[in-house]
Amino acid sequence: MAIQWYPGHMTSARKKAAEAMASIDVVIEVVDARLPEASTNPLVRELRLHRQRPCLKVLNKADLADPQATLAWIDYYNRQDGVRAVALSCKKPAEVARLPGLCRTLAPHRSENTKPLRMLIMGIPNVGKSTLMNVVLKRKLAKVGDEPAVTRSQQTAQLDVRHSLTDTPGLLWPKIEYPVDGLMLAASNAVGRNAMIDEEVATFLAGLLLARYPALLAKRYGLPVEAIAVLDAVAVIEEIARRRGLRVRGGDLDRGKAAKVLLQDYRDGLLGRISLETPTTRGVMLAAELARKES
């Protein structure tokens, strides 16, 4: 099942974001540090490049991501023209407080009090845009929630005489090109529940964890390390169901509930610090997709 999710309100939100882009100085693009490129909306890149706006790439939820993978992504983005990258967690206000200063370095012509810096927050659903805005402002202005598409309209606030900040609704794009991106986004709670099948997404996640973080998987669910080596993704889901006592009427393992357990544990960081992609794995995936299209 290819995962696609593009609610009707996103078309209107895209048009309003394009209009706002004309009157701002810096785009603060918030992505999920665990899947930075999969959670980068190509429409955001298109809009800001059209207006030639610099971008502060914020890898949020860095406290949940693999630190080595995050360092690789920071280097990757800092080598792009007009982009500066920073990793942080909105749970740490001191880290978020650095953002206006970083934005000023990208728009030095707005450093005077007579020319306030205008910042626009953009990104896909549920990466922490509204939380980031509230932390920067030091007050609760934007509505937040642990589900995608909570914010439905733009709102602008004055940080001080030198800075204004505009929050935008989460934007996905009409067609997710790579199936693995859809699965990573679904695993990370960036798409609506009606667009995904928990068991399918959890099976994908289990396979990735087996390949890259088997020790974390074994530790969380009490699996012998030697057993991990011979399990496949479906067997991992079944082992979670068995060890948590999750069964349907009749006694069979409840793989659906086990899938939800794995997904929630990943989303909450209970498995440990995990990144679903690195610049290297991204390159391998893109090469494989190109070869598939050409074959």
pTM summary value: 0.90
CA-based nearest residue to 133, from 177, 99, 85, 173: 99
pLDDT at position 64 is 98
Q: Is 70 annotated as a binding residue?
A: no
Q: Is 129 annotated as a binding residue?
A: yes
Fold match, 10-167 / 197-285: no
pLDDT at position 2 is 64
pLDDT at position 39 is 96
Per-residue pLDDT of the chain (295 residues; tens, 9 = 90+): 567 655 655 677 778 888 888 889 999 999 999 999 999 999 899 889 989 999 999 999 999 999 999 999 999 999 999 999 999 999 999 999 999 999 999 998 776 666 789 999 999 988 999 899 889 988 877 555 444 444 456 788 888 888 899 888 888 878 888 999 999 999 999 987 777 899 999 999 999 999 999 999 999 999 988 888 899 999 999 999 999 999 999 899 999 999 999 999 999 999 999 999 999 999 999 999 889 888 7
Q: Is 127 annotated as a binding residue?
A: yes
Q: Is 111 annotated as a binding residue?
A: no
Q: Is 278 annotated as a binding residue?
A: no
Q: Is 60 annotated as a binding residue?
A: yes
Contacts of 160 (CB under 8 A, 6+ apart): none
Sheet strands side by side (includes 163-167): 83-87, 55-60, 26-32, 117-123, 163-167, 155-160
Query: Which tokens sit at 233?
Result: 């993704």
pLDDT at position 13 is 73
Q: Is 236 annotated as a binding residue?
A: no
Q: Is 131 annotated as a binding residue?
A: yes
Q: Give the span between the Cα atoms of 286 and 289, in whole angstroms.
A: 5
Q: Topology of 10-167 in CATH?
A: Rossmann fold (3.40.50)
Cβ-based neighbour number of residue 242 at 10 Å: 14
E strands, 33-75, in order: 55-60
Q: Is 62 annotated as a binding residue?
A: yes
Query: Which tokens sit at 53?
Result: 């706006």
User: What are the residue boundaries of the structural domains of the chain, listed by start?
Assistant: 10-167, 197-285
Q: Topology of 197-285 in CATH?
A: Conserved Hypothetical Protein Ylqf; Chain: A; domain 2 (1.10.1580)
